[in-house]
Amino acid sequence: MGTASPFSRERHAMEIGILGLPQSGKSTLFEIMTGVRSREMHGETCVRGLASVPDARFDRLVQIFKPVKVSPAKVPFSDVNAIGEKAWDAVRQSLSGAEGLLHVVDAFTAASVAEIMSRYRTLEDELILADLMIVENRLERLSKMAKKPITPQDAFHAHVLPGLRGQLEAGKPLRELTLTDEERHGLRSFSFWTIRPELVVVNTGEENLSVADAFVREAGPAVPAIGICCAIEAELMALPPEERKEFLDSLGVQEAAFGRVIRAAFSLLGRISYFTVGEDEVKAWVIPAGTKAPRAAAVIHNDFERGFIKAEVIGYEEFIACGGTYAAAKAAGKLRLEGKEYVVRDGEMINFRFNV
């Protein structure tokens, strides 16, 4: 994890920036996911909103504990409302701190998969070019100061940037390079577009949902992509909540596609969640995969990390298998006491014991 830890208190930690050509459905998707009416916020260059991460396990725990407060995991998204000449500047400024990208591609007005592919490439190529310019500027400045004593940072840049240039010149994103955590950290100040994880959302027409599959085959396994028809999803979200299930049933699907987009974005950032439960609150806490118990406790409160003693842990599945009560889980000996080196796993239910 290194010092590039998402725990650093950054303004945009975990934020996902929505990118796409004009009129591709970015704001529509943003509104569906967050409930924030971006298109009505005239004059706001960048609109931010939180999307709840759908999780059947979490919903079940809410049913069991019937808490006063329900706090699912959230992912912050941002939608840029800029058009005209200054649009690219606005996008760059607004999204420079975003940790991940969601690239919306208009497939609802496209005549063929080739056309969808070409729209996708248009923006990808722009992003690659933007990164290439940053790399070249930096390399040029480095070459001009060759005579002066060079700092460790200069040396690092001179060492790593030529490889990045090669990748970008080949038309490929930086994220496909194998970089160490240290290298990634050292490159953070450049805010490269193509080094960040990206999810492609293929916004299909109502009658042509299957083009998304064709896109996935065409783009290959290195490009995570999900198909969604924003028009249908917008219709769904316009219904009162109690009628949504019926609408989904009529389409023959289990859950809304935008939920899959949020979940995919969440995993794309390498996050997992663990649960704390009780009658007062059921909450999903968000941590990077691979986090050890004391650090995981710190997202609840710093004191929990400082005074960490033990974590009392049970996996969600085990808890349910025990009949969904702590008394039964305890009687069955399923509550584990874990120490400081324990790596928390997705979906675990945890009580921290601490002393400060």
Ligand X SMILES: Nc1nc2c(ncn2[C@@H]2O[C@H](COP(=O)(O)OP(=O)(O)O)[C@@H](O)[C@H]2O)c(=O)[nH]1
Exposure b/e, 328-354, CB count within 10 A at least 16 = b: ebeeeebbeebeeebebeebbbbebeb
Is 194 a binding residue for Mg ion by CB under 5 A? The answer is no
Q: Minimum Å distance from CB 226 to ligand X?
A: 13
For 215, residues 6+ apart whose C-beta sits below 8 A from its C-beta are 105, 107, 113, 116, 117, 120, 200, 202, 225, 227
210 binds, among Mg ion, ligand X, none (CB under 5 to 8 A by kind): none
Kindly state the smallest distance separating residue 207's Cβ from ligand X, in Å: 10
Size of the site for Mg ion (CB under 5 A): 2
> Which residues lie closer than 8 Å to 119 by C-beta, 6 or more apart?
21, 24, 105, 106, 110
Which region among 20-28, 64-72, 128-136, 167-175 touches Mg ion (by CB under 5 A)?
Answer: 20-28
Judged by CB, which is closer to Mg ion: 14, or 47?
A: 47
Could you say which of Mg ion, ligand X, none residue 77 binds, taking C-beta under 5 to 8 angstroms by partner kind?
A: none
Nearest CB to ligand X, comparing residues 47 and 286 = 47
CB distance 135 to 143 below 8 Å:
no
Of 61 and 95, which has the nearer Cβ to Mg ion?
95
Partners of residue 315 on adjacent β-strands: 348
Please report where in the chains the tokens 């005074």 appear, as a residue: 307
> Can you say whether residue 279 is alpha, beta or left, with left for phi > 0 and alpha for psi between -120 and 50 degrees?
alpha
CA 240 from chain centre, in angstroms, equals: 27
By a kind-dependent CB cut-off of 5 to 8 A, residue 291 interacts, out of ligand X, Mg ion, none, with: none
In 107-183 the beta strands, taken as DSSP E runs, fall at none
Q: Which two tokens stand for residue 269?
A: 């950032």
Of all residues in the shown chain, the one whose CB is closest to Mg ion is: 27
> Looking at beta carbons only, is 230 or 282 nearer to Mg ion?
230
Q: Give the CA angle between residues 186, 192, 195 to the nearest 5°.
A: 80
Q: Given the DSSP bridges, would you call strands 271-276 and 281-288 parallel, antiparallel or unpaired?
A: antiparallel
| From candidates 14, 19, 27, 230, binder to Mg ion by CB under 5 A | 27
Residue 330, binding choice from ligand X, Mg ion, none, Cβ under 5 to 8 Å by partner class: none
Least Cβ distance, residue 31 to ligand X (angstroms): 8
Q: Least distance from C-beta 149 to Mg ion, angstroms? A: 48
Nearest approach in angstroms of CB 30 to ligand X is: 8
Cβ proximity to ligand X: between 28 and 167 the closer is 28
Residue nearer to Mg ion on the CB measure, 79 or 124:
79
Q: Which is nearer to Mg ion, 27 or 273 (CB)?
A: 27
At its nearest, how many Å lie between Mg ion and the CB of residue 27?
3
**Shortest distance, CB of residue 93 to Mg ion, whole angstroms?**
16
Q: Say if residues 100 and 199 touch (Cβ distance below 8 Å).
A: yes
* The one segment of 21-29, 125-133, 164-172, 251-259 that binds Mg ion by CB under 5 A: 21-29
Least separation in angstroms between CB 228 and ligand X: 8
323 phi-psi bin (left φ>0, alpha ψ -120 to 50, beta other)? left
Long-range contacts of 86-95 (CB under 8 A, 24+ apart): 87/22, 90/45, 90/46, 91/17, 91/19, 92/130, 94/17, 94/45, 94/46, 95/17, 95/19, 95/46
| Cα–Cα distance for residue pair 117/178, rounded to 1 Å | 25
203 binds, among ligand X, Mg ion, none (CB under 5 to 8 A by kind): ligand X
Give the interface with ligand X as residue ranges (CB under 6 A): 20, 22-28, 39, 108, 203, 205, 229-231
Which one of 23-31, 266-274, 308-316, 325-333 is the stretch in contact with Mg ion (CB under 5 A)?
23-31
Within 223-252, the residues that bind Mg ion by CB under 5 A are: none
Q: Name the site residues for Mg ion (rule: CB under 5 A).
A: 26-27
